[in-house]
A and B are shown apart, each in its own frame.
Chain A
Amino acid sequence: MPALPPSLDTWFAARGWSLHPHQREMLDRAADPALLLIAPTGGGKTLAGFLPTLAELAPGTHKGLHTLYISPLKALAADIRRNLTRPVEETGLPIRIEDRTGDTSYTKRRRQRADPPHILLTTPESLALLLTYEDAPRIFAGLSRVIVDEIHALAESKRGDQLMLSLARLSRLAPGLRRVGLSATVEDPAAIARFLARHPEPCAVLQADPGPDPDIAMLQTLAPPPWAGGGGRYAIPEVLAQVKAHRTTLIFHNTRAQAEIFFRELWLANTENLPIGIHHGSLAREQRERVEQAMVEGKLRAVVCTGSLDLGIDWGDVDLVIQVGAPKNVKRLVQRIGRANHRYNAPSKALLVPANRFEIVECTAALEAVRAHDLDGDPRGPGPRDVLCQHILATAAAGPFDAGTLYAEVTSAGAYSALTRAEFYACLDFAATGGYALKAYDRYQRLVLKSGLWQLRDPRTAAQIRLNLGTIIDSETLGVRLRGRGAPLGEVEEYFASTLTPGDTFLMGGEVVRYEGLREMTVEVSRAPGRTPKVAVFSGSKFSTSTQLSHRILDLFRQPDWPELPAHTAHWLALQREVSRLPERDRLLIETFPHDGRAHLCLYGFAGRAAQQTLGLLLTKRMEDEGLHPLGFVATDYATLIWGLDEVTDPAPLLDPAALREGLDTWLAGNAVMKRTFRASAIIAGLIDRNTPGRRKTGRQATFSSDILYDTLRKYDPGHLLLDITREEALRGLVSFGRIEEMLSRIASQNDGGIDHARLDRVTPLAAPLLLEHGRVPVEGAARERLVAEAAESLLAAAGLAEADLQPSAPMG
Chain B
Amino acid sequence: MNSYSFTLAGAALTLLPSGALLWSAEAMLVVSDLHLGKSERFARRTGTLLPPYETRETLARLDADIQATAPRTVLCLGDSFDDAEAAAALAEEDLSWLTRLMAGRSWLWIEGNHDPGPLALGGSHLAQHRAGPLTFRHIAEPGAEAEISGHYHPKARLAARGESLTRPCLLHDAARAILPAYGAYTGGLSCADPVLLSLMREDARAVLLGAPPRAVPLISLSGRPRASTSSR
Q: How many A-B residue pairs have CB under 8 A?
A: 166
**Would you give the shortest CB distance from B141 to chain A, in whole angstroms?**
17
Residue of A nearest to B155 (CB): A701
Residue among A434, A440, A536 facing the most chain B CB atoms (10 A cut-off):
A440
Interface string of A418-453 (1 = CB under 8 A from B): 000000000000000110101011011010000000
Residue of B nearest to A713 (CB): B51
Contact of A785 with B223 at beta-carbon distance under 8 Å, contacts A440-B39, A464-B46, A792-B158 already known:
no
Residue of A nearest to B14 (CB): A808
Within 8 A of A (CB), among B158-217: 158-167, 172-175, 184-190, 193, 195, 201, 203, 205, 208, 210-211, 214-217
Min C-beta distance of A596 to chain B, whole Å: 21
Q: B40 and A811: CB pair below 8 A?
A: no
Known interface pairs A699-B193, A715-B57, A813-B175; A704-B186 also in contact (CB < 8 Å): yes
Residues 777-803 of chain A, each 1 if its beta carbon lies under 8 Å from chain B, else 0: 000000011011111101110110100
**A495-508 vs B: 1/0 string, CB under 8 Å?**
10011111100000
**Known: A498-B157, A806-B215, A813-B201. Is A703-B187 also a contact (CB below 8 A)?**
yes
Chain A residues with CB under 8 A of B216: 792, 795-796
- Tell yes or no: A268 within 8 A of B by CB: no
- The answer to whether A716 and B225 have CB atoms under 8 Å apart is no
Chain A residues with CB below 8 A from B226, complex form: 502, 798
Residue of B nearest to A786 (CB): B160
Question: In the complex, A555→B67 CA distance in Å?
Answer: 64
Of the stretches B2-10, B25-33, B103-111, B127-135, the one at the interface is B2-10
**Is A107 positioned at the interface, with any CB of B under 8 Å from its CB?**
no
Contacts of B162 in A (CB 8 A): 499, 536
The answer, yes or no, to whether B72 is at the interface (CB within 8 Å) is: no
A12 to B210, CA, bound (A): 73
For residue B91, CB closer than 8 A to chain A, the reply is yes
Docked complex Cα distance between A787 and B214 (Å): 11
* Chain B residues, Cβ within 8 Å of A703: 187
Q: Are A807 and B53 in contact (CB under 8 A)?
A: no
Chain A nearest CB: distance from B165 CB in Å? 6
Across the interface, name the chain B residue whose C-beta is closest to A790: B160
Q: Considering only CB atoms, which chain B residue lies closest to A494 in the complex? A: B164
Q: How far is the CB of A92 from chain B (nearest CB, A)?
A: 51
Q: How far is the CB of B159 from chain A (nearest CB, A)?
A: 5
| B158 close to A716 (CB less than 8 A) | no
Q: Tell me if A708 and B185 are in contact (CB < 8 A).
A: yes
In this assembly, does A624 line the interface, its C-beta being within 8 Å of a C-beta of chain B?
A: no
Contacts of A705 in B (CB 8 A): 187
Q: How many angstroms from the CA of A151 to the CA of B39 in the assembled complex?
A: 41
Identify which of residues 35-62 in chain B touch chain A, using a CB-to-CB cut-off of 8 Å.
39-40, 43-44, 46-54, 56-57
A702 interface contact, C-beta 8 A: yes
CB-defined contacts of B46 to chain A, threshold 8 Å: 464
A808 near B184: Cβ-Cβ < 8 Å: no
Residues of B within 8 A of A699 (CB): 189-190, 193, 195
Please give, as numbers and ranges, the residues of chain B lying within 8 Å of A441 by CB-CB distance.
43, 49, 52
Contact assessment for A799 and B220 in the assembled complex, using a CB-CB cutoff below 8 Å: yes
Do B5 and A495 touch (CB < 8 A)? Answer: no
Cβ of A498 and Cβ of B185 under 8 Å apart? no
Whether B52 pairs with A440 at a CB distance below 8 angstroms is yes
A788 touching B167, Cβ below 8 Å:
yes
Task: Establish whether residues B220 and A440, one from each chain, have CB atoms under 8 Å apart when the complex forms.
Answer: no
Interface core residue of B158, B175, B210 (most chain A CB under 10 Å): B158
Q: A808 contacts which of B5, B214, B232 (Cβ < 8 Å)? A: B5
Assess whether A502 is in contact with B229, with CB atoms less than 8 Å apart. yes
- Per-position 1/0 for A349-366, Cβ under 8 A of B: 000000000000000000
User: Does the CB pair B165–A799 fall under 8 Å?
Assistant: no
Chain B window 98-138, contacts with chain A (Cβ cutoff 8 Å), 1 for yes, 0 for no? 00000000000000000000000000000000000000000
Q: How many angstroms from the CA of A155 to the CA of B201 in the assembled complex?
A: 58
Task: Determine if A33 is an interface residue (Cβ-Cβ < 8 Å).
Answer: no
Question: Taking each of B5, B46, B193, B214, which has the highest tally of chain A beta carbons within 10 Å of its own beta carbon?
Answer: B214
Q: Does A687 contact B (CB under 8 A)?
A: yes
- The answer to whether B47 and A458 touch across the interface, beta carbons within 8 angstroms, is yes
CA distance A809 to B174 in the complex (A): 10
A15 beta carbon closer than 8 Å to chain B: no
Whether B47 contacts A440 by the Cβ 8 Å rule is no
Contact of B53 among A446, A498, A516, A716 (CB under 8 A): A716
Q: Which residues of B contact A691 (CB under 8 A)?
A: none
* B84 located at the interface, meaning its Cβ lies under 8 Å from any Cβ of chain A in the complex: no
Q: How far is the CB of B68 from chain A (nearest CB, A)?
A: 20
- Interface centre among A501, A517, A787, A792, by most chain B C-beta atoms within 10 angstroms, is A792
Are B50 and A687 in contact, with the CB atoms below 8 A?
Answer: yes
A218 proximal to B (CB < 8 A) = no
Q: Mark A638-682, 1 if CB is under 8 A from B, else 0.
A: 000000000000000000000000000000000000000000000
| B146 CB to nearest chain A CB (Å) | 12
Q: Which of A517, A713, A798 contacts B220 (CB 8 A)?
A: A798
Q: Closest approach, in angstroms, between the C-beta of B40 and any C-beta of chain A?
A: 7
Q: Is A376 interfacial (CB-CB < 8 Å)?
A: no
- Contact A809:B7 (CB < 8 A) given known A792-B216, A795-B217: yes
Chain B residues with CB under 8 A of A88: none
Question: Is B66 an interface residue, CB under 8 A from the partner?
Answer: no
Min CB distance, A174 to chain B, in Å? 31
B187 and A702 contacting across the interface, CB-CB below 8 Å: yes
Query: Are B214 and A712 in contact (CB-based, < 8 A)?
Result: no
A663 to B61, CA, bound (A): 28
Q: Does B95 contact A (CB under 8 A)?
A: no
**Chain B residues whose CB sits within 8 angstroms of the CB of A433 once the complex forms:** 49
Q: How far is the CA of A461 from the CA of B167 in the complex (A)?
A: 33
Q: B195: nearest residue on chain A (CB-CB)?
A: A699
A372 touches B (CB below 8 Å): no
- B7–A717 contact, CB under 8 A? no
Whether A792 contacts B159 by the Cβ 8 Å rule is: no
Which A residues are in CB contact (< 8 Å) with B215? 792, 806-807
A495 and B43 CA atoms in complex are apart in Å by 29
Are the CB atoms of A687 and B57 closer together than 8 Å?
Answer: no
Is there a chain A Cβ closer than 8 Å to B139's Cβ?
no
Q: Known contacts A495-B164, A792-B215; is A717 also within 8 Å of B51 by CB?
A: yes
A250-276 interface bits toward B, Cβ cutoff 8 Å, 1 = contact, 0 = none: 000000000000000000000000000
Are the C-beta atoms of B189 and A700 separated by less than 8 Å?
A: yes
In angstroms, Cα B42 to Cα A464, docked, is 14
Which of chain B's residues have a CB closer than 8 A to the CB of A789? 214
Quote the shortest CB–CB distance from B172 to chain A (angstroms). 8
A812 CB contact (under 8 Å) in B50, B186, B203: B203
- Determine whether the beta carbon of B210 is less than 8 Å from that of A785: yes
A791→B12 CA distance, assembly (Å) = 27
Q: Is the CB of B229 within 8 A of A503?
A: yes
Q: C-beta contact mask, A123-154 vs B, less than 8 Å → 1, else 0? A: 00000000000000000000000000000000
Give Cα distance in the complex from A602 to B149, angstroms: 55
A795 touches B220 (CB 8 A): yes
Query: Per-residue 0/1 for A474-514: is the Cβ within 8 Å of any B Cβ (1 yes, 0 no)?
Result: 00000000000000000000010011111100000000000
Cβ of A79 under 8 Å from chain B: no
> Contact at A446–B49, with CB atoms within 8 Å?
yes
Q: Which of A434, A517, A713, A787 contacts B223 (CB 8 A)?
A: A517
**Complex: chain A residue closest to B219, CB-CB:** A799
* CB of A206 closer than 8 Å to a CB of B: no
List 30 A-B residue pairs with CB atoms under 8 Å apart, sorted by A's residue number: A434-B52, A436-B49, A446-B49, A457-B47, A464-B46, A501-B159, A502-B229, A516-B225, A517-B223, A687-B48, A687-B49, A699-B193, A703-B187, A709-B51, A712-B184, A715-B53, A715-B57, A716-B57, A720-B51, A788-B165, A791-B160, A794-B160, A795-B220, A795-B221, A799-B219, A801-B217, A812-B203, A813-B173, A813-B175, A813-B203
Given contacts A443-B44, A498-B159, A503-B232, 16 further A-B contacts (CB under 8 A): A434-B43, A440-B39, A499-B159, A499-B164, A502-B229, A687-B50, A688-B50, A709-B50, A716-B53, A716-B56, A785-B211, A788-B160, A794-B160, A796-B217, A799-B220, A813-B203
List of 6 A-B pairs having minimum Cβ-Cβ separation, nearest first = A813-B174, A434-B49, A440-B52, A503-B229, A809-B6, A791-B160
